């Protein structure tokens, strides 16, 4: 079985600074804590439905501002050895994957206890991006403003062992439809610098 990896980018967290809100906000928050829970849950920023890119996808239900944390990529945290022995996530497509590899080699298998993040499709010109925090948790954040109705995507940055030949290009063909589509879900391997001849 071909090993398909997903990696998350390592950009800084978007943390709201408490100091920016001043003392009034702190007092208001303390009072709010003593109130009963509101009856209605706040509306989620996304919902899952059929996608023109592939199968199911995740779509914004309202405007999502650049830098917003949208959803955590959840699932069973395991090793490659265990993950690859599990039943295929789509028996009709051996290259379909719900795996996300973190920087220490842990695999998050979203086919086990996964959440809506597992339905987010890849785009070569994505409006979202993956971010791995210092505890190895992976989140999908907005890399630009996302409007209600837009499909939420991120660049999978998939990599496989070996060269990307015709077969791999067919197996991992991309249907994102972006003008800049690179044709595959795979990331081009970085070329090793040739040593200068002495």
User: Which residues would be at the binding site for ligand SAM (CB under 6 A)?
Assistant: 51, 53-57, 93, 96-98, 118-119, 121-123, 174-176, 185
- Write down the residue that tokens 């190895």 correspond to: 136
Cβ(125)–Cβ(178) below 8 Å = yes
Q: How far is the CB of 53 from Zn ion (least distance, A)?
A: 9
Decide: is 176 part of the binding site for Zn ion (CB under 5 A): yes
Q: How far is the CB of 40 from ligand SAM (least distance, A)?
A: 29
End-to-end CA distance of the chain: 42
Q: How far is the CB of 134 from ligand SAM (least distance, A)?
A: 24
CA–CA dist 89, 106 (Å, integer)? 18
Q: How far is the CB of 37 from Zn ion (least distance, A)?
A: 43
Q: What is the DSSP string of 58-127?
A: EEESS-B-TT-EEEE---EEE-HHHHTTSPPSSTT-TT---EEE-TTS-EEETTTT--GGGGPEE-TT-S
Question: Does residue 35 sit in helix, strand or coil?
Answer: coil
Cβ(183)–Cβ(128) below 8 Å = no
Residue whose CB is nearest to ligand SAM in the complex, by number: 55
Decide: is 174 part of the binding site for Zn ion (CB under 5 A): yes
Comparing CB distances to ligand SAM, the nearer of 10 and 115 is: 115
Q: How far is the CB of 170 from Zn ion (least distance, A)?
A: 14
Comparing CB distances to ligand SAM, the nearer of 98 and 131 is: 98
Site for Zn ion in 85-124 (CB under 5 A): 124
- Selection from ligand SAM, Zn ion, none that 181 binds (CB < 5 to 8 A by kind) is Zn ion
């Amino acid at each position: 079985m071909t090993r398909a990896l997903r990696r998350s980018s390592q950009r800084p967290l978007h943390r709201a600074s408490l100091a920016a809100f001043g003392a009034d906000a702190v007092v208001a928050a303390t009072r709010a804590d003593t109130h009963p829970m509101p009856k209605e849950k706040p509306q989620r920023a996304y919902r899952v439905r059929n996608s023109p890119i592939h199968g199911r996808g995740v779509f914004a239900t309202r405007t999502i501002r650049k830098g917003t944390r949208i959803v955590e990529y959840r699932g069973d945290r395991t090793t490659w050895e265990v993950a690859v022995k599990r039943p295929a996530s789509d028996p009709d497509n051996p290259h379909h994957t719900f795996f996300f590899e973190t920087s220490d080699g842990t695999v998050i298998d979203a086919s086990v206890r996964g959440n809506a993040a597992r339905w987010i499709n890849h785009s070569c010109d994505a409006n979202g991006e993956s971010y791995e925090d210092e505890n190895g948790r992976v989140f999908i954040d907005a890399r630009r403003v996302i409007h209600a109705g837009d499909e939420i995507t991120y660049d999978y940055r998939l990599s496989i062992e070996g060269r990307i030949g015709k077969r791999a290009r067919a197996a991992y063909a991309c249907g994102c439809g972006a003008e800049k589509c690179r044709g595959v879900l795979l990331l081009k391997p970085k070329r090793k610098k040739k040593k200068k001849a002495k």
